[in-house]
Amino acid sequence: MAKGSADHVRRYYQVPAKRGARIKFRGQDGTIVGFQGAGLRVRLDDDPKRIHSCHPTWRIDYLDGRGER
């Protein structure tokens, strides 16, 4: 289901979400570690033991390889 969820999120929300992508969620740096339905599973750098469930367009910035938007 992870592959189907990732494809759905990218198409439906028009975002570049993929596993391993760097993001900024509520101002904190993190990494997409998976997908759950139409949502993202995110591990924040400052809280690596916790996985956050996030909406693909709510308070998320997708960063390029240099950590820039």
Domain CATH number, residue 48: 2.30.30
| Ordered alpha helix ranges (H), the chain | 2-13
Calpha distance 18→9 (Å, rounded): 9
Domain that holds residue 35: 2-62
Task: Give the mean pLDDT of 53-69.
Answer: 83
* Position with higher pLDDT, 54 vs 4: 54
Is 68 among the domain residues?
A: no
How many angstroms separate the first and last alpha carbons of the chain? 28
Is 69 among the domain residues?
A: no
* Structure tokens belonging to residue 30: 């993190």
Q: Into how many domains does the chain fold? A: 1
Taking the CB of residue 55, how many other CB atoms lie within 10 A of it? 13
| pLDDT tens readout for residues 9-24 | 999 999 999 999 999 9
Q: Dihedral of the CA atoms 10, 23, 32, 27 (nearest 10)?
A: -120
